[in-house]
Amino acid sequence: MALDPSELLAIKQRFGIIGNSSRLNYALTVAAQVAPTDMTVLITGESGSGKESFSKIIHNSSPRRHGHFIAINCGAIPEGTIDSELFGHEKGAFTGAQDARKGYFEVTNGGTIFLDEIGEMPLGTQARLLRVLEYGEFIKVGSSKVLKTDVRVVAATNINLLEAVNNGKFREDLYYRLSQVPIYVPPLRERGNDIELLFRKFAIDFSERYHRKPIQLTPEAREILMKYRFPGNIRELRNIVDRMSVMLEDRLIDAETMIEYLPQERNSLPALYNRSQDNNFSERDLLYKVLFEMRHDMNELKKLVLQFLKHENHGNSIIEQHPELFNDMEDRSSHEETLDKRFNGNSNAYFLHRRNNTPPHKTEEEPDNTYDLDNVEDITHETESSNELSLEKKEKELILKALRKNGNKRKYAAQDLGISERTLYRKIKQYEID
């Protein structure tokens, strides 16, 4: 049963929850519905997504709200002392135990314990926790007396507990006991426009703290912000806004400034090959790029084998028996040196050159001037014989053509070039393109 919109809004206002995404609203609804019960809750989600806020919602909306609430990071407590921290110990139970001590399960009797990073809990402690959940009983370290406690447990993890169970790092019976009610907190990148709402909230908060005008975003900067994946989630966004609020004099954030303050993402080949973003990028282009890299690696390997054989007792006889494997090494070396000098062994640079010198659209009437994939030597010889401009100039020309073609809209120009917008912004700045 879904919550009334007014009830959902009241929860958000009470606990400072910003956002309207459907996944967030569903998680809040489950938390509100399970709060009046004593059921054990397992909250899953990435680090920084706000899991602890859900534990507070559950506690403060429950009949236990007048009791103690303790949040414990299981990964931050050493394995040798976690049993003592949770269940207490008797005097003399171990070296340094000069006095008896109450554990969190005894102190929090009648309240709620939030066990964060439950996947980091040692297996021995997991067995003790399971007994608490099943029977409400525990034994202090160094004691034989069974004590009773009435504590509600809310656990959280940012790892896959089922995978940990399969790897023998987490008890299966404890997993099913903890996940009586599972709640999934979505990462920031799955919350759509909530990113912009949180940015504005943090900007206002830091403007009040630093007594400065709040920072704002241009449409282009907003687009870049919305596309960033935020691996650190809300915590990362908050830190970025905090840093901008302190460092920047200009309170209107443009695209280039936003790029500077967002961590750089790696440009990998799978990200480059995206059919939905670039209709001009073909499988043939991809094959040329991969083939260039494979050819270079194979020739390097052959050089190593040849050098190794020349220094072995029977190496020369092996070379004589298989001349076809090495007879073209001398001929290839000059081609390889020329190609490497031109592109510095950079397949991305070669790839841009290849795209610029291949017609993007070929009709049946036009001759086929593309290279034969089965004859890679065509690539080397044509590269050497061409008397074209430097790679930097050709790259600049390629960027200018893409910008003109797309009416100076950088988003679509980047898609045509097969690169990310952030890379295009850096190139525009590097080549001082207006």
What mean pLDDT do residues 132-152 have? 95
Q: Domains in the chain, ordered, with CATH?
A: 5-186 (3.40.50.300), 189-261 (1.10.8.60)
Q: What is the pLDDT of residues 24-38, one digit of tens each?
A: 999 999 999 999 999
What mean pLDDT do residues 208-218 have? 95
Share of the chain above pLDDT 70, in %: 71
Could you tell me which of 157, 248, 186 has the C-alpha nearest to residue 19?
A: 186
**Residue 187: count of CB within 10 angstroms of its CB:** 20
Q: Where are the beta strands (DSSP E) in 287-397?
A: none
Q: Give residue 141's pLDDT.
A: 93
Number of H helices, E strands in the chain: 22, 9
Q: Give residue 269's pLDDT.
A: 39
**Residue 29: count of CB within 10 angstroms of its CB:** 17
Task: Categorize the per-residue pLDDT at 199 as very low, low, confident or very high, splitting at 50, 70 and 90.
Answer: very high
Could you tell me which of 371, 421, 369 has the C-alpha nearest to residue 399?
A: 421
Q: At what angle do helices 51-60 and 5-15 cross, to 10 degrees?
A: 110
- For residues 51 and 188, give the distance between their C-alpha atoms in angstroms, rounded to a whole number: 12
Q: What is the pLDDT of residues 148-190, one digit of tens each?
A: 999 999 999 999 999 999 999 999 999 999 999 999 999 999 9
Name residue, tokens 């081609």.
335
Q: Give residue 288's pLDDT.
A: 56
**Token pair recorded at residue 422:** 């952030």
Pairwise pLDDT comparison (104 vs 290), residue with the higher score = 104
